[in-house]
Structures are given as C-alpha cells and as structure tokens.
Amino acid sequence: MKIAKTYLLMTLFSLWLAAPHISMAADGKTVIEQNRCAGCHEMNGGKAGTIAEVLSKKAPDLFYAGSKFQEKFLTKFLQRPNRIRPAGTVFLNYTAPGPEIDQIQEPPLCASRLSREDAVAAAQYLMTLKDPDMPTGIYKPGTEFAKANAKMIFHKSGACNACHQVDVGNGDIKGGVSAPTLYDAGDRLNGDWVLSYIKDPQHWDPKAWMPKRELPDSTWQLLTNFIMTMKKSEEMKKAEK
Amino acid sequence: MIKKIIILSAILSIFMAFTGRGTNVFGETSGDNYKLYCAQCHGLKGNGSGVNKADMSVAPRNHTDTIEMSRLKDSDIYEAIAHGGTAVGKSTLMPPWNGVMTDAEIKEMVAYLRELCHCKGE
C-alpha cells in the first residue's frame, strides 16, 4: 500500500514538473509572445514602405516566415541563433564612413535562445505564417540543372556575390556583406520563396536594396536551383561545434 | 489685394514643397535613395568605399572624384543607373536600378551625383 502511494505521488510530481513544458510546447504563439519577438520582428504584415520605416527595423520580418524558411532551420536557429546578416538587419544602421572602406559597427543579434521544446513549438507556429499568394511547388529539389551556367550568372552577369557571401570552396567565405549570407541558403530557405524573392524582391520588401531584374523564368529557376545547393560545408559545421 | 497675395503665397509654397532640391515628389530624397541603394558599394560618402568593396573584382566608382566624374555625360550616368554597368561598357557588378527607382528618381540621382562630384558632364 505504501509503495503504491509513493508511486502515485511520484507520478503526480513528474506530471506537475512536465506540465508547464507540455502547455508551452502546445502553443508556439504563446512562446513567441512571451519572448516578445514582435518587439524586434514585424509579425503582422506591416511592410516597410519608406526608407524611414526601413531604418526603424530591428530584425527581419517574420509575418511570412512559413513561406520563407525551412522548419528544421527555424527549430535549430531558435535554440542557437547565429548571424545571417553580416552588417545587421539594415546595413545603414550599423555602418560608418571609412577612408578605404566603410566600417561595420557590431550589429546586435536580436534573437532569443529558446529551450528545445519552446523552439519546436515556436517553429511550428512560425511555419503557419505564410503568404497565401506565393506560388508553391515550382522549385523541385534534386532537379538536374546546368550548374556551370548558373554559377556564371550568379558570380558574373548577375553579380549576386557583390552583396551576398557564399562559400567559394572548402569553407572559404567571400562576397558582400550588405545582404544576408547565402552559403547555407539551401539549409535555411524554402526554394519556392527564393524563386519568388529573387524575381521580385520589392514584392516582399518594398524598400529592399536589391535590384529587380527582368530575366526569363528559366533563368530564375536556374538561379534558385543553384542557391538551394548552397549548404554549410563540413569545415563550417566543425567550426560551429 | 491682400487676399490675392495670400493665395499667391500659398500656391508658391506648395510649388516649392514639391520641387525642393533633391526631393522626389513621390517621397524619398535622392540623398536617402543614394544611402539605401548606392552606399552599400559606393560608400556612405560616395567615395567608392562601400561595405561590399572588399571582395569586389572591380572597385566601385568614386562619385566624389571631380576629374573622373567630369568625363561622364549625364546620359551615361543615367544609363548606368537605369540599366546597369554593361549598358555603358562597364562592370556587371553595377546592377540596373530601373526596376526599383522611378525614372524621375533616377534623373534626380544623376543630379545628386553631380552635387557629390562638384562637377558637370562633358
């Protein structure tokens, strides 16, 4: 009888311990609210329409996170945030004039470190925030494409690397710093969103400092396939550990 | 008479507000557009020292270089901004901005570059 009573008490105690985690894990929206993510991230679809509004941004928009990101990436990032924009969310806010080259001044990383349970729940919730108008199913992972041609467009005619950092081989990172890094784009982003964004950046962000070009759909698909092959090298993964 | 003066002053004020130096009637000044779109490569002061310069194979143009900028026609500058470096036989690193800035904004940007270089075109 005594053993049964002790067992029952221990079970109840275990349930009590687990209860807060269960309730938090069940509601990713609450996790987002409790961590005040909206203090830095736009969560409700208010696109920055003027330069003044762009400058007031503290962190990237998340109201279309479910269209933009991969859930696996979000779950990992929310536990261990890392810098994706070398010069901060808006490079102008953290750059000062320099004689040879303008200097980036330690941009803050506006991100919380969540527990695994909270990160899973928050990522699940963020994945529900989608732009219903974004065409889906266009990017097909694993599709064969002319990689040499795509590379030429990315590095030469399109000069995407002027603003984006990429891995030029064996973890050697080169490229511009005013825009998000792309060396792990294939681990981080949704291919359909990449295609939509590179085709019309201003649809997503009216004051994006990325040029909008008129190119054939086949070229956009080629570039998307190429960008989605960009994944963290073994050297980078080792360095993270 | 006083009434006429007041009306004329009001019309003049509105006209001046819309044609202020470097101010686009649609909202952004050419100086602000320069900072957002151009400074990432050409530098906050326009001296070709943007944050992206380090890994570029061709250095961004120094817009404060009076001698170099004097050699360019306004039409060349317009073409380079609107359609990119290749439109004027220059680097592909300079992208076309006609999908982002309006024609009026690009024309204002040409005038802004002339302010930066303190020069006129050939």
Model pLDDT for residues A108-120, shown as the tens digit of each residue: 887 889 999 999 9
Above 60 in pLDDT, residue A41?
Answer: yes
Structure token pair of residue A127: 């994945």
- Residue range(s) defining the domain that contains residue A221: 147-240
Mean pLDDT estimate for chain A: 90
Is residue B69 a part of any domain in this protein?
yes
Is residue A6 a part of any domain in this protein?
no
Task: Please count the structural domains in chain A.
Answer: 2
| DSSP for residue B22 | T
Among the candidates A126, A158, A178, a domain finishes at A126
Above 90 in pLDDT, residue A173?
Answer: yes
More confident residue, B94 or A239: B94
Is residue A192 a part of any domain in this protein?
yes
CATH number of A178's domain: 1.10.760.10
φ and ψ at residue A165, rounded to 5 degrees: -80, 135
Alpha-carbon distance A213 to A105, whole Å?
A: 31
Model pLDDT for residues B32-66, shown as the tens digit of each residue: 999 999 999 999 999 999 999 999 999 999 999 99
Model pLDDT for residues B77-122, shown as the tens digit of each residue: 999 999 999 999 999 999 999 999 999 999 999 999 999 999 998 6
Q: If 0-12 CB within 10 Å is exposed, 13-18 middle and 19+ buried, where does residue B34 land?
A: buried
Above 70 in pLDDT, residue A229?
Answer: yes
Distance from CA of B4 to the nearest CA of A (A): 37
Residues of chain A with Cβ-Cβ distance to B51 below 8 Å are: 87, 91, 95, 101-104, 176-178
Task: Please count the structural domains in chain B.
Answer: 1
CATH number of B27's domain: 1.10.760.10
Distance from CA of A70 to the nearest CA of B (A): 28
Is residue B122 a part of any domain in this protein?
no
Task: Give residue B10's pLDDT band: very low, low, confident or very high (50, 70, 90).
Answer: low
- Please enumerate, as own/partner, the contacts of A157-162 that have beta carbons within 8 Å and a separation of 24 or more: A157/B92, A158/A213, A158/A223, A158/B92, A159/B91, A159/B92, A159/B93, A159/B95, A160/A223, A161/B55, A162/B41, A162/B52, A162/B56, A162/B93, A162/B95
Task: Give residue B14's pLDDT band: very low, low, confident or very high (50, 70, 90).
Answer: very low
Are A119 and A155 in the same domain?
no
Report ipTM for this prediction.
0.85
Are A81 and A170 in the same domain?
no
Task: Give residue A152's pLDDT band: very low, low, confident or very high (50, 70, 90).
Answer: very high
Residues of chain A with Cβ-Cβ distance to B49 below 8 Å are: 97-102
Above 60 in pLDDT, residue B24?
Answer: no
Is residue B105 a part of any domain in this protein?
yes
Candidate from B32, B43, B91 with C-beta closest to A51: B32
- Residue range(s) defining the domain that contains residue B8: 2-117
Is residue B64 a part of any domain in this protein?
yes
What whole-number percentage of chain A has pLDDT above 90?
78
Give the sign of the dihedral formed by CA A222, CA A227, CA A228, CA A234: positive
Q: Give me the mean pLDDT over the B6-26 stretch.
A: 46
Is residue A72 a part of any domain in this protein?
yes
Cβ atoms of residues A70 and A185 within 8 Å: no
Q: Can you say how many angstroms the Cα of residue A57 is from the centroid of all Cα atoms in its chain? A: 16
Most A CBs within 10 Å, among B51, B63, B91, to test the A interface: B51
More confident residue, A68 or B18: A68
Alpha-carbon distance B103 to B107, whole Å?
A: 6
